[in-house]
Structure 1
Amino acid sequence: MYFFEWGCWQMHLDPEDAQKNHKTLDRKIETKRNTHYESEDDEEQAASCQCVSQTPHSRGPIYVLNDTLLEMRCGIGEAKRGLVSIITLGILLITTKSTIAAATFSLQAAGHSQNPDTASWGALFPATFFTSIAVTITWFYFRYGFRFSRLEMFTSRHLLIRFNRKTQQVYLHRPSYCGGIMTLPWKGVTSSGAGERYSIAGGVGVPLFLYWSARVTDTLHPVSVWVGKAGNNQAELRDEWEFIRRFMDEGPQSLPRPRITSHFPWPWQAFTPQFEGLTQYFRHASRGIKVGLLLIWPAFVIIGLGHWASLLLCWKPRWPKLIRQAGLPGKPVPPQTTLASYPAHIQERLRANAHLWAVRPGKRPEKKPKTGARKQT
């Protein structure tokens, strides 16, 4: 589930040696440098301040909504959550069975060794064999596989985004290996729901996208986050963004009251995300596709069970005390996350990659027309 956030964070921290070994690095750097200018960033921020919908509506999940706070689920890939859990549980099952078999044969070998008249070789070999399997799998899993299991198991149950209209700040709750908890300014955010011009894939199959450029974050790298459920069309994302914008700029009084979702891992929370952003597709799909979907329903059940297992093996995310009290009378305003908020080794790697995310000054230069003379035949 956290693959995208983990990949983005690793990309920000990609060491220089690894960059030099990448054959297409120079081309990617040049492409990145030429894709964002200050004028474009200003236009996107201005567009995000405008009203884009007369029907603000949030499809959730929303965990907190009051006069001060709006807290929602964020992250992309919620529908795919469960795949890693299934593989992890399979590995744990094999390891457990091997351990039980090794213990059983070891006890038999120990019992035979106490009786001189009975040979213990028949139990000693399988005991050694199953012990070797259990130890080998356990070592490889904790050495190479556990980091991937933690992308959806043994970690925070959800990625969260909290909007605080009193402090005019946005807080991100993520594990440390995905960037950690961050405090960002509300002013300066851009959104894929600000209009058709900024939409991603027409809003189909992706959640609302929020973005803070490197010139806004003061951390030498941009921050991106996917908010809420995957959309069926761009209109849903515009309604979602207008709901958030009006909450932060005007308050919740004029907004429709959404359903508040519990953090408790109910089973239906594991199955419904598989169908987010697919309502329109299912509705207009041909009869053959609908029949095919009915035939593969066991796959949806298996993924859903893996999703539920991952929810049960995770814990409810908890905000730091400073953020929980933000906006209350007499309580301090959390400081914005800056480069100095990270450990020294993280700061060093962010500085090394700062040129990748720097916003170019001024406007994008106009493309020169191609004036190549045709060859005479």
Structure 2
Amino acid sequence: MYLLEWMVVLDHKRYKPGSIWDEQQKKNAESEKKHEKKLFSQGLGHLLTAKESDIRESRSEVVDDNCSIYRKTSAYLDVCTYNDDKRGLLTLLFSVICYGLYTCTYILGFLIFQLITGKDSFGFDFEPDLDFWIGFFGFAVIAPVVWGCFFRYLLKAWRLEAFTKRRLVVRFNRVTRKVYLLRPGFLGGVKAYDWEEVDAILPKNMPNHEGIGGMLVLAVKTEENENPYRDFGVDGAFLGLPSRDYQHLLSFWEYIRRFMEDGADAVPAPKRLRSKWPNPLSSMWTVSRLSLPGGFDLGRSFLWLRLALTPVFVIWGLGHYASLLLSYEGRFPKAIRQASGESELRSWLELLAYNLLPLLYTAVGLWLYYAWRHGLDWRLPLQYLGV
């Protein structure tokens, strides 16, 4: 679920004066000003313009890809974002809501059918009574209101994990010295920033056990900003799977830094590239890990609890898989693909395969399950097609 990216975008917008969001922006700005005054009073005002980390400075002797790499070539490195795997619960919730909306609409339609035809569900003559009119007007009011609220408010929240790009990708191109962000429009869209502009939020002298939220945070100051209480905007990305500790996070950053500064041969090949194929089993495995900020892995630490919660993970995993199927696999614009040396033929084939094949093998799997449950011949669709 792309909640963190959404919050970054919301902080850039201008809101109606006096609204909740406007007041929150004002409080944040006041807090930042107090922090600035405190730094200046301590003679540390230069820290406001200094980066947390120098991209040319090595911060670790060990490199680790953190199992967060989609693709590594001699020119670019595609890295996953922190929230790509945090999905499924919203899809389960909104699926229940959609089922309720469908039920209300079906009942309303049936009541209208009875009123028009004068027949009940058994085909007998029907005369509307008081109970009928109460139910009819109740559903006639409730159904449109709930549908309106769903499309006006709830559907926007659902887009944080469905009806959007399946994954957000950050591409580090050492040839163009650029960092490219692949995102849907409502999360900031596709952006390109100079490598030298990027700041990795990695404070020095942090104790290893404190960590930094388990993720690598990249930040860039931009001029795109509608927030009236701030003179600049901040864009960025939340990279990689949760790290075990701070040293692990530094080794992950070192992998990226050496790739960009020293070349593709300066870092080893990823231990295992992340797959882009939706898979119900991998979805269940993903949600069962329950990787929390700071690298705390419930699945690794409490195997017995993981086994006890297996039914929950199965249901959650199906929601995770459904959210992937309800989304689409995106790709970078043509200019970025050309700058990265991507093959156009391969790009088109991957686009078609990642978007069409999951729907196909999911439909086949559902049919095989349905045929097995009802004792049907699984070859029936082939017979209908004359194969």
Query: What are the equivalent positions in structure 2 for 1:1-377 lying under 5 Å apart?
Result: 1-15=1-15, 17-18=17-18, 21-22=23-24, 24=27, 27-31=30-34, 33-34=36-37, 37-39=45-47, 41-42=49-50, 44-46=52-54, 48-76=55-83, 78-112=84-118, 118-121=125-128, 125=133, 126=135, 129-192=138-201, 195-197=204-206, 201-203=210-212, 206-212=214-220, 214=221, 217-219=222-224, 220-258=232-270, 259-274=272-287, 275=289, 276=291, 282=298, 291-328=304-341
Partner SS for 1:163: strand
Distance 2:125 2:109 in 1: 19
Residues 199 and 135 (structure 1 numbering): CA distance in 2 closer, same or farther, change over 3 Å? farther
Q: CA deviation at 1:65?
A: 1.4
The answer to whether the 8 A contact 1:50-1:194 is kept is no
Deviates more, 1:309-318 or 1:276-285: 276-285
Residues 106 and 280 (structure 1 numbering): CA distance in 2 closer, same or farther, change over 3 Å? closer
In the alignment of these two chains, the number of paired residues is: 319
Amino acid at match of 1:248: M
The answer to whether the 8 A contact 2:80-2:240 is kept is yes
Deviations 1:266-306 (A, max 9, x none): 22442344323587655895xxx655554434333333222
Determine the structure 2 residue equivalent to 1:347.
none
Distance 2:335 2:284 in 1: 35
Structure 1 unaligned regions, length at least 5:
330-377
Residues 283 and 327 (structure 1 numbering): CA distance in 2 closer, same or farther, change over 3 Å? closer
The answer to whether the 8 A contact 2:171-2:180 is kept is yes
Distance 1:308 1:327 in 2: 30
Distance 2:29 2:285 in 1: 42
Deviations 1:27-47 (A, max 9, x none): 32423545695446545342x
The answer to whether the 8 A contact 1:109-1:124 is kept is no
Distance 2:108 2:315 in 1: 30
Deviations 1:299-355 (A, max 9, x none): 3333322222111100112211111112449xxxxxxxxxxxxxxxxxxxxxxxxxx
Partner SS for 2:101: helix
Structure 2 unaligned regions, length at least 5:
225-231, 343-387
Distance 2:166 2:325 in 1: 8
Partner SS for 1:317: coil
Residues 57 and 290 (structure 1 numbering): CA distance in 2 closer, same or farther, change over 3 Å? closer
Partner SS for 1:90: helix
The answer to whether the 8 A contact 1:162-1:170 is kept is yes
Structure of greater relative contact order (alpha carbons < 8 Å, 6+ residues apart): 1
Residues 189 and 61 (structure 1 numbering): CA distance in 2 closer, same or farther, change over 3 Å? same
Distance 1:87 1:297 in 2: 19
Residues 99 and 218 (structure 1 numbering): CA distance in 2 closer, same or farther, change over 3 Å? closer
Determine the structure 1 residue equivalent to 2:349.
none
Amino acid at match of 2:91: S
Distance 1:273 1:106 in 2: 46
Q: Please, what is the CA RMSD of the aligned residues?
A: 3.4
Amino acid at match of 2:329: K
TM-score (norm 2): 0.71
The answer to whether the 8 A contact 1:192-1:199 is kept is no
TM-score (norm 1): 0.73
The answer to whether the 8 A contact 2:178-2:192 is kept is yes
Determine the structure 2 residue equivalent to 1:357.
none
Deviations 1:77-120 (A, max 9, x none): x4542222122111111111222233334334433269xx9234
The answer to whether the 8 A contact 1:196-1:234 is kept is no
Distance 1:4 1:281 in 2: 20
Q: CA deviation at 1:148?
A: 0.6
